[in-house]
Structure 1
Amino acid sequence: MLTPLEVLKLYPPHGGTLASMLRSRAAVANDREFIVYQGRSYTYAQVLEEVRRAAAVLVAKGVKEGDRVGVMSLNHPSSVFAFFALAGLGAVMVPVNPDYGVEEARYVLNHAEVCGVICSEAALPTVQAACEGLASMPWLMLSETAFVDVPDSLAAAPEPLDNPDATCVFIYTSGTTGFPKGVMHSQRSLLTAGEGFVARMHLQPDDRLLCVLPLFHINAIFYSLAGSLAAGATLILEPKFSASKFWQTVKETGATEVNTIAAASSILMRRPRSEYVPGHRLQKIYGAPFDEETFRVFQDEFHVATLIEGYGMSEIPGALNNPFPGPHKVRSMGQPSRHPDPAVSLAELRIAGDDGQFLPPGQVGELVVRTPIVMQGYFRDEAQTRAAFRDGWFLTGDLAYVDEDNFFWFVARKKDIIRKRGENISGAELDRVIGNHPSVLEAAAIPVPSELGEDEILVAVVLRPGMTLAHEEIAQWCRERLAAIKVPRYVALVDSLPHTPTHRVAKFKMREDASLRAKAVDLQAVTS
């Protein structure tokens, strides 16, 4: 196995742009597969040609430096070609969740002021409806046929611009208040994150990275795509995550690495073992959070040797990870991420108190980060951009602590703290503990007003299909595992919980839902 630095040194130096890194990798890996999609593959040389054709098409559409183009599609090679082509033109890709409804899509397309939209055929009606009423009608193009039939008469694409600090992508966060913010990243930020991912997962040129997460997600773009490019490796694009077909896909594609989120890992652990396909080549999984059971199932039953936990946000991708060679601390966020080149510094992290002063190991405060892989700001929102930083440190809004070994540990979102009788209670802890009940599919705890001031705890619970569970049984489960003050007073059994586009529970929507309190059983009233 090559070291991460040896992997990067296989290729000529690049100039910090997507175009320059693609040329660098093609200079050595010209005939190596770069993109694989449903049985079709594109070598590095072929991707260079596809990007040139895509750029010619976009220029013909009038795209110029600084323009924004929306991409609302399931994972597809055309999204990758468009991304590289737009970056070469100095333009910006705005990936949009293809599952968005009309109003959600309209907000993003309008806020980003897109000049055009590339979308899948299935999303076309939503895009057309979303574009109605915009200040100017964007041009529309289908992702399935976007760059297939490029006429010879089309003017040649210009040479890619040489500006590594040019904004190349907006990532719209799901937010905690309802309105997503457009996180802006430069080409340099993206490629540095990709190089960091080579170190994080010890990627090799012959690795085959399976991408089942959507290309509107920071993980898929900054880790899977940019990591594959940085290593000169192969990216296997799947339209979307399919739990029932996952292991068959892993076996058929020869995937060696995959990135997951907690929901996907949990689903796979609970699927029928008859779907598991032995003899695969999958060796490495990146994601979070992983608990002891996740490690046991994936290593012992699914025979995947290495699971790496990490932490990042749309604003600061790849800030922390458990070291690939070890030591590993299960459930931790890991240690500050490193670049393959020790001369290149990546993330610095501290724990800060409410007064902004840094705290010693063991004390809980806000995690703050200083890193070159950082957003340029929120598009059209200078106030929120200013509020996100203090003295050059990005304020994550996450409460955490660092131990004596420099491993960081997540405690809760600052906005996910329930203040009860003078104590801070982590909603995330309650979610995890109640979610571990064998009859529970998903749980989410939120604060509700107390007659005594401060908060009481309300937990909304979705049961697994065919399961029954009394409200009091949930409280008893908590009593056996948590301090008495953390036992919920209100329990609501619901059919589903609201989610953000990145599959997190949308607790801000729950807090706004007055009917949730009405549905809940007051266990204090029942027992009194």
Structure 2
Amino acid sequence: MIDLARLNVRDFFGGAIAETPGSSFLVFTGDDREWSYRDAGAEITRAAAAWHSLGVGKGDRVAFMLDNSPQFVWAWLGLASIGGVLVAINTGFKTSEAEYLVRDSGARFVLAGDEHVEVLRGVQAALPEVAVLHGDAGTESFTALMEAELDPAPHVELSGDDVISLIYTSGTTGNPKGVMQTHRNFVLTGQAYVDWMHMERGDRIYACLPLFHINSQAYSTMAAIAARGAMVLSPRFSASRFWSEVRRHRVTVFNFIGAMALILTKSEPSADDADNAVRIAYGVPTLATEVVDAIEHRFGLRCISGFGMSETTFGLLEPLDQPRRPGSMGIERHHPDPMVPRTQAKIVDGDGVEVPRGTAGELLLKNAAMMLGYFGRPAKTAETLIDGWLHTGDSAYQDEDGFFFFVDRMKDIVRRRGENISSLEVERTVARHPHIAEAAVIGVPAELSDEELLVFVVPRDPGEPVTADEVFVWAAEHLADFKVPLYVRLIGELPKTATAKVQKEKLRAIDADDRSGRIERAGARR
């Protein structure tokens, strides 16, 4: 029977060492080094001693600005084993952005990869009380500290409610918020992910998404431990290296987000595309049916989608044992142990009243792997978590069979001429044009009331640019008249977060700063 109150990642990993000490835990594709569970345990123990020697204790926050690397894993799990809290900084951040996270979290130390030290010198200039530790360079590096003869870190009591990681939201609206994820949530997620993906003992999961993201922390790392398998860690996603690394290291499972799946389908076809050991890939958002079909048939694997957030690692998932509903996010995903509270999901209107099936409203979730709240923001926590229900801010609907379908971020639904329009639907339609790589839609003020649609378009081939007229004609052929954008803007690339989310606030700023780039649809104003 699972004791939810005592679940923690230190004991979770310790159980794996006891069961399979010689099995592979970590493979780093950067140099093809490999560590067993026993060897990894030794590295983690040394990292725990290093943190303790610096005075880091239970509840202390430590910021990391490191690329994917074995050192990230050892330093993080060592920190977690003494009750410290990871604050992982997006490695694409500039000084002001990194400073915000360090200041907001109250981190006393920052572990910096050598390539990020310059950014963090600026942070230290603003926050002189913060100590910056170099990853590898010099005698004062964290690596040197791990290799020193230090007393072991004392045993610390850990509970399921202890925070293991502050996952900062993307900050697409206002400043990022630190999501407090717990030891219990991460252990439950690893155990459940193995069940969701039908993983087998010893499976290898490929992790090319950044370790500052909840996907790699909670899904890839924890699932590898739960399966007594290996995490094949890549420094970063690379379309050119992806399949060679997957084949070389006998990967059986991988995760994807954003445009990653689309990029893989657009690579040059090869006769050995299906020559891989991958059985299943999971990712968000839900892909268009033709993209799913292309991935499955070309690469010989099963591709499923679902719904999760930094605020909850559970949520929705396409079930592997039921017929597919094209475009669906699936149904509630549960922990395999019946003693763990089951996930609940519902769709409500603006008053919090559950709506009939087939009607769009806000998606609410309740499950056993919910965040404790937003760090230092009790009011925002109370606004988001109400009576145990997480208000996702996403519009969705549920069909008669209980499957959920995403409509849009509620803030991205455009109200035009009395109609609610999903920006996602328009984006997907426009992006199907053969000369268009990506599209993003925002609402802009209309002359009289409501909003108009503006679509930003990225050409697939800069040498063969698409015209605004082509966009308008294509949209008119595939969308109802009221969904056809009034404006088009051609752009070289869409601004995105490191987790491939389009930063629509930046698109709004681009348009607000210079509206001369808008191209208006001829004859649209009648």
TM-score, with normalisation over the residues of structure 2? 0.94
Bigger drift between 235-244 and 38-47 goes to 38-47
**Matches of 2:254 and 2:142, distance apart in 1:** 28
Q: Percent identity, please.
A: 36
Structure 1 contact 73–98 (Cα < 8 Å) conserved? yes
The equivalent of 1:284 in structure 2 is 280
Structure 1 contact 76–143 (Cα < 8 Å) conserved? no
- Check 1:480–1:293 CA distance in 2 against 1; reply closer, same or farther (3 A cut): same
Give CA-to-partner distance per residue, 1:39-98, whole Å, 9 cap, x none. Answer: 111111111111110001111111111111111111111211122211221110011111
What residue identity is the alignment partner of 2:517?
K
**Matches of 1:150 and 1:261, distance apart in 2:** 34
1:425 is paired with a residue whose SS is strand
* Structure 1 residues 110-121: aligned runs within 5 Å: 110-121=103-114
The equivalent of 1:318 in structure 2 is 314
The equivalent of 1:499 in structure 2 is 496
* Structure 1 residues 169-180: aligned runs within 5 Å: 169-180=165-176
What residue identity is the alignment partner of 2:231?
L
**Matches of 2:325 and 2:136, distance apart in 1:** 42
- Check 1:74–1:37 CA distance in 2 against 1; reply closer, same or farther (3 A cut): same
Q: 1:259 aligns with which of 233, 255, 260?
A: 255
1:349 is paired with a residue whose SS is strand
Structure 2 contact 250–277 (Cα < 8 Å) conserved? yes
Q: CA RMSD in A?
A: 2.1
2:439 is paired with a residue whose SS is strand
- Check 1:141–1:160 CA distance in 2 against 1; reply closer, same or farther (3 A cut): farther
The equivalent of 2:80 in structure 1 is 87
**Matches of 1:296 and 1:273, distance apart in 2:** 15
Task: Tell me the CA shift for residue 515 of structure 1.
Answer: 3.2
Alignment partner of 1:519 is 2:517: yes
1:98 is paired with a residue whose SS is coil
The equivalent of 1:380 in structure 2 is 376
Task: Tell me the CA shift for residue 15 of structure 1.
Answer: 4.1
Task: Tell me the CA shift for residue 175 of structure 1.
Answer: 2.5
The equivalent of 2:430 in structure 1 is 434
Task: Tell me the CA shift for residue 276 of structure 1.
Answer: 5.6
What residue identity is the alignment partner of 2:13?
L
1:158 is paired with a residue whose SS is coil
What is the aligned residue count? 518
The equivalent of 1:487 in structure 2 is 484
Q: 2:24 aligns with which of 24, 33, 37?
A: 33
The equivalent of 2:150 in structure 1 is 154
Task: Tell me the CA shift for residue 136 of structure 1.
Answer: 1.2
1:318 is paired with a residue whose SS is strand
**Matches of 1:516 and 1:302, distance apart in 2:** 44
Task: Tell me the CA shift for residue 439 of structure 1.
Answer: 0.8
Structure 1 contact 70–94 (Cα < 8 Å) conserved? yes
Alignment partner of 1:335 is 2:351: no
The equivalent of 2:294 in structure 1 is 297
Task: Tell me the CA shift for residue 135 of structure 1.
Answer: 5.3
- Check 1:29–1:253 CA distance in 2 against 1; reply closer, same or farther (3 A cut): same
Structure 1 contact 33–41 (Cα < 8 Å) conserved? yes
What residue identity is the alignment partner of 2:217?
I
- Check 1:181–1:63 CA distance in 2 against 1; reply closer, same or farther (3 A cut): same
Q: 2:195 aligns with which of 179, 193, 199?
A: 199
Structure 1 contact 118–143 (Cα < 8 Å) conserved? no
Structure 1 unaligned segments of length 5 or more: list them. Answer: 1-7
What residue identity is the alignment partner of 2:24?
E
What residue identity is the alignment partner of 1:457?
L
* Structure 1 residues 398-477: aligned runs within 5 Å: 398-465=394-461, 466-477=463-474
Structure 2 unaligned segments of length 5 or more: list them. Answer: none
The equivalent of 2:57 in structure 1 is 64
- Check 1:66–1:418 CA distance in 2 against 1; reply closer, same or farther (3 A cut): same
Bigger drift between 48-57 and 113-122 goes to 113-122
Task: Tell me the CA shift for residue 274 of structure 1.
Answer: 4.2
Give CA-to-partner distance per residue, 1:204-225, whole Å, 9 cap, x none. Answer: 1121000011111111111111
**Matches of 1:373 and 1:281, distance apart in 2:** 31
The equivalent of 1:136 in structure 2 is 129
Task: Tell me the CA shift for residue 484 of structure 1.
Answer: 0.3
Bigger drift between 316-325 and 516-525 goes to 516-525
**Matches of 1:118 and 1:135, distance apart in 2:** 15
